[in-house]
Structure 1
Amino acid sequence: MKVSAWIPQPTQGQSGIIVPESALVWYIDQVYVYIKIAKDTFTRRLIKEFLTFPEGYFIKDGIKAGEEIVTIGGQMLLSEELRGQIPDED
């Protein structure tokens, strides 16, 4: 069996960042990253488009230069964020 595939790669001069696989958080069939906005404060940001690379994922839009991205523990931040939505059943 033969398979042909076209895998787009960023062209020279295309701006963006490569983040490790551990930085992406999947929730309800969408991909997010957490951005540090203060010492102990993080915000979840939707990533609309990304490309797979051997080093991780290439994200060309949605993250600004200088922003700090959570690379380990994003799933834990999501759990803490959603914990408040669980009803108290005392």
Structure 2
Amino acid sequence: MADVTSLETELQELIIDACNVPDAPEEVDPEAPLIGPDSPLGLDSLDAVEVVVAVQKKYDVRIGGQDTSREVLRSLRTLADFIRHGQS
């Protein structure tokens, strides 16, 4: 499994909390899909909205339109990179 940064771990906890994920795995591969049928957290498009709101509130970043959010929410890694580098 790829190295997991503290930001990715923090994001995983934030997402599990925001989306009330039952039986969440202890560690999620940061490259695994965040949303959709292959998501280890079982997140769907409604959860994506919760994630965007929680992340914007906590990290004071703006995740733009549908295309941007789809790219940013591809995995924990892409979300962490977006926050680290600010708005692109």
| TM-score normalised by L of structure 1 | 0.25
Structure with more helix by fraction: 2
Q: In terms of Rg, which structure is larger?
A: 1
| TM-score normalised by L of structure 2 | 0.25
